[in-house]
Structure 1
Amino acid sequence: MADATLLRGAPLAETTRGIIAERTARLKEEGVEPRLAVVIASADPAVAKYAEAKGRTAAKLGIALDVVHVDPADGQAALERAVAGLSARADIHGILLELPVDKPLDAEAAIALIDPKKDVDGLTAINLGLIAAGREKDAIAPATPLACIRLAESATVLRGKRAAVVGRGRSVGRALIPMLINRDVTVTVCHTKTPDLAAAIGPCELVFAAAGAPGLVTGSMLRPGQIVIDAGISVVDGKVVGDVDAETAMPRVAALTPVPGGVGPLTSTLIFDNLMTAIALQRGKE
């Protein structure tokens, strides 16, 4: 049997960036200057690099991006003032809090202060609630689950399929589960208390791995024909790896997203696609 088809995020990201650039140009013709604010409340150099990467993408798309630094030593009140202030500004169309924030800062409390119509990472309770209620068209969907779905859709039609979601965490699984249900997928949710992961995964045509546990899903758990989307990311011995043991999975499944190079590149682009959605919602348009 041939190795799995690799579902890379870059081609979809490139196509999406072209659409975003066109939408940005039209908005500017209408007098709207799209602007994203990225809030950093961490001394971790990696967090700053994430923001810098977004800045480079924004520049290519013609989108203004402001990086707002909050000194973690100034405490929770300073972080919340910054987020609330950005939410109140009419010229700011999107807000993203780069995670993680330094301890003991409370990211959840800060996210709660983001205007849901400016929440380009789709993390506010209102956006997640709209998705869970089946009103995804009225919401801004989290970028990583959306990237997982777009990559799966590039390989197959989702309606009527069975999918296993491995991981029920805040950043991916909690949103991905109702987003799949909204697309008429039958969903099996797997987590740390699932007694037999292989048995749960086996009947499903789609497997979404989002547990943050390197190599959790092995080839022996998978079967021919499955499409596997790996949203996990960990560093092991200096190497970035996913939740799926790619070496043993590749000879068995039909398609697999590589780590790195799969979900990640598309996720970063969808932040800006979400900015376009945010502007439409703020202007009262679908």
Structure 2
Amino acid sequence: MTDEPQRKDGATELRGSPVAAGIRTELAARVARLVENGTTPHLAVVVGSDDPAVAKYAGAKGRMAEKLGIGLSVTTIEPTRGQQALNQAIDALCADRNVHGVILELPLGPGLDAEEAIARITPAKDVDGLTTTNLGLVAAGWEANAIAPATPAACIRLAELVGPLAGKRAAVVGRGRSVGRALAPMLVNRDVTVTICHTKTPDLAAALAPCDLIFVAAGRAGLIGANHVRPGQVVVDAGINVVDGVLCGDVDHAAVSPIVAALSPVPGGVGPLTSTLIFSNLMQAIALQQQS
């Protein structure tokens, strides 16, 4: 299996699975060394929803953890039990020295506040990189001391398949906590000139035209079409939408692919890589905890 991007339907396809496979090989070796030294990595997943899709995400993490030799536990809080029960579960996991990472599966069920719950996660166990501490360290340019969010990191890895990012101009379309707000400073940290756009940006096409790279995570299916792109651009689609029962991104793949130089598919692009980088973040969490 190769990390080289593959051409399909015009644009070069930026697929996450080949890159993720290489990372998993490295992770398995790191986990083996930790176990030899008396530390068995453990990730705690907290589910606060009755949504079968959320349970599916947790199950997928469990299967990958098993392959890597990582312990994983799932704590499920029924939404009817309320915010206090969710907060207490997170507090207990963060206080457990045998738990090295805590991740809150989103979205939460009705009546539960994700922001309040995330704020209770100890930054050194925040493998999703969503606490204000980790986001602040990233924004300050101190990524080595932070746990960076996995989805923005996956976007960067895919873009790097085409070539170095330093000196490029990039647009980040979307300003959400999990992708856009972290991705923009992460790109700046790599010497990229960044324009931040969103669904309220007037004349989005004009804003994107000068950019070499376009990262899209606005949560709106088909937001980026043929009139928004030009030849030579690299487009990374981190959007997740379901339209008529079909999973799709924020980019109109069929319209954009014949024009741009490279494009990540949905599914198959950012997603598989994000799932693997969560476990890379767990290794970073263990390193931070051992330092302290």
What percent of counterpart residues are identical? 65
Give the 5 Å matches for 1:63-74. 63-74=70-81
2:233 to 226, 236, 259: 226
- 1:251 equivalent in alignment to 2:258: yes
2:220 to 190, 213, 235: 213
Q: In structure 2, what is the Cα distance between the partners aligned to 1:139 and 1:223?
A: 35
Cα-to-partner distance string for 1:140-199 (whole Å, 9 max, x where unaligned): 000101100010111111000000111111121010011001111000111122111000
Tell me the residue number matched to 1:106: 113
Deviation, 1:238, is 1.1
Tell me the residue number matched to 1:16: 23
Tell me the residue number matched to 1:203: 210
Q: How many residues align?
A: 284
Cα-to-partner distance string for 1:196-231 (whole Å, 9 max, x where unaligned): 100000000000011011011112211111110000
1:158 to 165, 173, 178: 165
Which amino acid in 2 is paired with 1:149? Answer: I
Q: In structure 1, what is the Cα distance between the partners aligned to 2:104 and 2:174?
A: 23
Q: TM-score, normalised to structure 2's length?
A: 0.96
SS of the counterpart of 1:155?
coil
SS of the counterpart of 2:170?
strand
Give the 5 Å matches for 1:66-215. 66-215=73-222
Which structure 1 residue ranges, 5 or more long, are not aligned? Answer: none
Q: In structure 2, what is the Cα distance between the partners aligned to 1:250 and 1:193?
A: 25
SS of the counterpart of 1:283?
helix
Which amino acid in 1 is paired with 2:254? Answer: E
Q: Is the 8 A contact 1:220 1:248 kept in 2?
A: no
SS of the counterpart of 2:232?
coil
Which structure 2 residue ranges, 5 or more long, are not aligned? Answer: 1-8
Deviation, 1:72, is 1.4
Deviation, 1:121, is 0.3
Q: Is the 8 A contact 1:41 1:70 kept in 2?
A: yes
Tell me the residue number matched to 2:40: 33
- 1:275 equivalent in alignment to 2:250: no
Deviation, 1:6, is 0.3
Q: In structure 1, what is the Cα distance between the partners aligned to 2:251 and 2:277?
A: 23
Q: Is the 8 A contact 1:162 1:185 kept in 2?
A: yes
SS of the counterpart of 1:50?
helix
SS of the counterpart of 2:291?
coil
- 1:239 equivalent in alignment to 2:238: no
Q: In structure 2, what is the Cα distance between the partners aligned to 1:105 and 1:243?
A: 27
Q: TM-score, normalised to structure 1's length?
A: 0.98
